[in-house]
Amino acid sequence: MLWEDKAILFSILLVYSSSQVLASDEIQEDGQCAELNNTRWQEYRQQRVRVEVQYLLLTRRNPDCAQKFDQDFVGKPTSYFNTSRPTKVIIHGFSALGRKPSWVTDLAQALLGAQDANVVVVDWIYGASFAYNLVVENYKEVALQISVLVNQLQQKHGCRLESFHLIGVSLGAHVAGFVGTLFEGKIGRITGLDPAGPMFKGADTSDRLDPTDALFVDAIHTDSDHFGISIPVGHVDFFLNGGMDQTGCARSRFASMYGYVICDHMRALHVYMSALNGTCQLTGIPCASYEDFLKGSCVDCGVFKGRCPAIGLQENSGIATSPIPEQQKVFLLTTSSAPFCAHHILLTLEVSPLDKSAEVEVMLSQGTEHHFRLKTEATVYRTVLAHPVTLCQIDSIRLRNTGARLYRQGDVHVKSVCVSELPLRRLVRLQQAGFLAFSAVRWTETMSHLLLSAGYANNAGHIRLVDCFLFQVLPRKRKISLIFV
């Protein structure tokens, strides 16, 4: 943005600052809980887009009963706002039906559970409903009003800009970005939860969320092929399951409206709340593309000096590099339901050269499976899988030849199977016990019987493998089985 434009915007900000966002006599002091607004189509038709904003305050002292809030309410005895604590600002996005977002309280409580903070909810439902194109045209007006509040809290009450963390959902992410633009990137942090894509994919950086909007910007992408934006917009961008088609979301048009239309889009919010609740650490691995990530081409976080970024409230997502890289894509896999925790298991299968193509099903213990399509020109195959347990809890691997009988390879010579957990901090190498005697093992229907007679398997047909290694040394040895079917 040109300096002339910034000067104009700052002048507008000063004009807004001369008036109150909400009149102080409207702030409830009777102990009743403040509520988010709803709007109706009839009201919209009468007034068109009405950019009216109210603010609700939640803290650990009132996690279930919001207070209406403005800067004049800060110093009153009934206010729970604490200027010495960080402030989280939640900004919702577009509402097609004018209904208040049902997830706000859950997100606020997750934030309060993770950190003692002021949580300010921005309610702009009147200007965020029904006609998306008009909402987009007016989102900067909302950002200006939020900027007035932030400016007053800074100037009159000593709140530091670095203490503000704006969390925008969908279109709310770009609202947060424009607030950051008005403060020339001095806001502490902005988190975008699947930032909106329609009408923003080709927008200038001054009109959408980008890394210059705050000292640190992170974003979670879950629906980049529909309602979310497909390009990186932060310092770190988490692309969950490639940023589209989330596991557990319906793919059929006959599913429920939520399941088919917005499940992917809202998954970013639900994963973020799970990360705040601390059930597990959801970390991503930097990579150029999702395809390269799934192929096992990216196995560590060297670009971040070994510290992989994590979703949540950790400072700078847990990375310690300086300066912080911008627009860094990181990828991670999740499970289909909360808490969405998954361990990234790199599975490598090596076979002898084939005369014909084949298909092999590999199933890890606890049910994770993958189908390898074996080709005549390749002998090593890799893939990254989402697994519910850690590496050293994998106690069996099942392989099965699943190719069609008419054209599949009759015998598959399995040379080795290797599993490791990403990022590469610990490694387990699985190799057939018979390798000391054979350069390759012939995989046939009588495999288990041959191994039994040779003494390489127990009565259950399990092949014993080498132990787990932690940095190639594991104090507590653990046997792992490879099962051929």
What values do phi and psi take at 323, rounded to 5? -70, 160
* Contact yes or no for 271/282 (Cβ under 8 A): yes
* Contact yes or no for 88/153 (Cβ under 8 A): no
Strand bridging mode 481-484 / 396-401: parallel
Higher-scoring residue by pLDDT: 4, 476: 4
Exposed/middle/buried for residue 7 (C-beta within 10 Å: 0-12, 13-18, 19+): exposed
Active-site hit among 129, 170, 317, 448? 170
The residue extents of the domains of the chain are 3-332, 343-484
pLDDT reading at 395 higher than 70: yes
Band (198; pLDDT cuts 50, 70, 90): very high
Question: What does the pLDDT read at residue 464?
Answer: 30
Mean pLDDT score, 384-394: 87
Question: What does the pLDDT read at residue 35?
Answer: 86
Band (37; pLDDT cuts 50, 70, 90): confident
Higher-scoring residue by pLDDT: 154, 389: 154
CATH topology of domain 3-332: Rossmann fold (3.40.50)
Say whether 221 is catalytic.
no
pLDDT reading at 14 higher than 70: no
Which strands form 369-374's sheet, in the order they lie side by side? 369-374, 358-364, 396-401, 481-484, 462-464
**Of 6-10, 27-31, 222-226, 355-359, highest mean pLDDT:** 222-226
What does CATH list as the number for 343-484? 2.60.60
- In what helix (H) or strand (E) does residue 132 lie, and over which residues does it extend? helix 132-157
Say whether 265 is catalytic.
yes
- Please state the pTM of the whole predicted model: 0.82
pLDDT reading at 380 higher than 50: yes
Query: What DSSP string describes 174-239?
Result: HHHHHHHHHTTT-SSEEEEES-B-TTTTT--GGGS--GGGSSEEEEEES-TTTTB--S--SSEEEE
Active-site hit among 265, 343, 344, 387? 265
The yes-or-no answer to whether 3-332 and 343-484 have a common fold is no
Of 418, 412, 400, give the one whose Cα is nearest residue 480.
418
Band (472; pLDDT cuts 50, 70, 90): very low
Say whether 170 is catalytic.
yes
The per-residue pLDDT for range 227-264, each reduced to its tens digit, is 999 999 999 999 999 999 999 998 766 656 666 679 99
Question: What does the pLDDT read at residue 21?
Answer: 37
Q: How far apart are CA 237 and CA 232, in angstroms?
A: 6
Mean pLDDT score, 279-296: 95
Chain Cα centroid distance, residue 131: 28
**Of 119-128, 144-153, 405-414, highest mean pLDDT:** 144-153
* Contact yes or no for 310/279 (Cβ under 8 A): no
Of 405, 429, 437, 416, give the one whose Cα is nearest residue 480.
429
Exposed/middle/buried for residue 36 (C-beta within 10 Å: 0-12, 13-18, 19+): middle
Active-site hit among 70, 92, 129, 194? 194
pLDDT reading at 471 higher than 50: no
pLDDT reading at 268 higher than 50: yes
User: How does the average pLDDT of the chain come out, rounded?
Assistant: 80
